[in-house]
Amino acid sequence: MSTAKRAPAQNLLIAALSPEDRLRLLGDHSPIDLGFSDTLVESGDRIRHVYFPIDSFISLITPGAGRAQLEIGLVGNEGMLGVPLLLGVNVSPLRALVQGAGHAWRIDTAHFIRVIESHAGIRASLNRYLYVFLSQLMQTATCTRFHLIEARLARWLLMTRDRAHSSQFHITHEFLAYMLGVRRVGVTSAASALQRRKLIRYSRGDLAILDVRGLERTACACYALDKKIYSRILKKAPVPAAGIDPGTRLLAGRIVSAITC
């Protein structure tokens, strides 16, 4: 996705760590470039790396054939890719595609596991993000079942804007169809409705948000709820880390299944 960015300097989860913990987690890793549409991991694959986006962002897509694929999460500089490792599982349940090109910290799985197993403070911080991530998945289950396509499109475009750090971006019909889990014709009609109301301009994949407030009023309540949970949970001091029990792992798997069944 090409954007005129107000590029963030750092991933917020990394920035929230103490300087010592930041060094422990990042080790001698350097930020890498992620290219638009790169696949970072396929569903069912072993997780080889953890990614902390800086000015890139990543789309999380459920496994399925053709139109049965649905984007159920977006990870930008507010989050990380690789949360199953916090649950003690090294297999990805989702496909991760780069939707916004840019930089990200990429950390080897073995190093990441060593660090979270030996530093409770780092694990506790990242567990708070895990909670936010699961809350967002639950919200997406409700959103996909009950909210209208136009309101859902408005929500996803605002989420994309937040992670792209720009009101203009390139977004393909394929990604819009993943966002909504509908056919191309449904995407075109929802985008046209937003365009007629002068909330967006969309032509040949170039999308510009013209009226942020108007788009916020059109979006379903899920957008505001996600942001509220994020700021409530991640801006608090972390509680001591606890191990993850198998019940929590099972719950995470069931939430993903509930969204797509």
Nearer to Zn ion, 56 or 62 (CB): 62
Helix, strand, coil % over all residues of the chain, rounded to 5: 50, 20, 30
Where along the sequence are the contacts to Zn ion (CB under 5 A)?
143, 147, 220, 222
Residues whose CB is less than 8 angstroms from the CB of residue 255 and which lie 6 or more positions away in sequence, other chains included: 134, 137, 138, 141
Nearer to Zn ion, 109 or 142 (CB): 142
For residue 89, the minimal CB distance to Zn ion (Å) is: 28
For residue 147, the minimal CB distance to Zn ion (Å) is: 4
Directed axis angle between helix 109-118 and helix 120-146, to 10°?
110
Nearer to Zn ion, 147 or 201 (CB): 147
Contact 133, 79 (CB under 8 A): yes
For residue 222, the minimal CB distance to Zn ion (Å) is: 3
Nearer to Zn ion, 26 or 149 (CB): 149
**Residues 153-171: b if buried by 16+ CB within 10 A, e if exposed:** bbbbbbbbbbbbbbbbbbb
For residue 164, the minimal CB distance to Zn ion (Å) is: 20
CA geometry: angle 129, 165, 259, nearest 5 deg: 45
Neighbouring C-alpha atoms within 13 Å toward the C-beta of 233: 22
Nearer to Zn ion, 47 or 187 (CB): 187
For residue 118, the minimal CB distance to Zn ion (Å) is: 40
Contact 122, 17 (CB under 8 A): yes
